[in-house]
A and B are shown apart, each in its own frame.
Chain A
Amino acid sequence: MSADGARGGLKPKHQRLVLIVLAVAALIGATLLAMVALRDQANYFYMPADIAANPPEPGQAIRLGGMVEQGSMQMQEDGVTVEFVVAGDGERVQAVYTGIKPDLFVEGSGVVADGRLNTDGVFVADTLLAKHDENYMPRELEGMSSEEMRAELQDSVAGTGQ
Chain B
Amino acid sequence: MGVELFYPEFEVVRNYDRCIACRVCERQCANEVHSLLESKGIMISDESKCVNCQRCVALCPTRALKIVKSNCTLRENANWQNDTIREIYKQAQSGGILLSSMGNPKPLPVYWDKILINASQVTNPPIDPLREPMETRVFLGKKPERVQRDETGALKCELPPQLELTMPIMFSAMSYGSLSYNAHASLARAAEKLGILYNTGEGGLHEDFLRYGKNTIVQVASGRFGVHEGYLRSGAAIEIKMGQGAKPGIGGHLPGTKIVGDVSRTRMIPEGTDAISPAPHHDIYSIEDLRQLVFSLKEATEYQKPVIVKVAAVHNIAAIASGIARSGADIIAIDGFRGGTGAAPTRIRDNVGIPIELALAAVDQRLRDEGIRNSISLVVGGSIRNASDVVKAIALGADAVYIATAGLIALGCHLCRTCQTGRCNWGIATQRPDLVRRLNPDIGCERLVNLLTAWQHEIMEMMGGMGINSIEALRGNRLMLRGIGLTGKELEILGIAHAGE
A and B associate in one complex: no
Interface of A with B (CB < 8 Å)?
A: none
Interface of B with A (CB < 8 Å)?
A: none
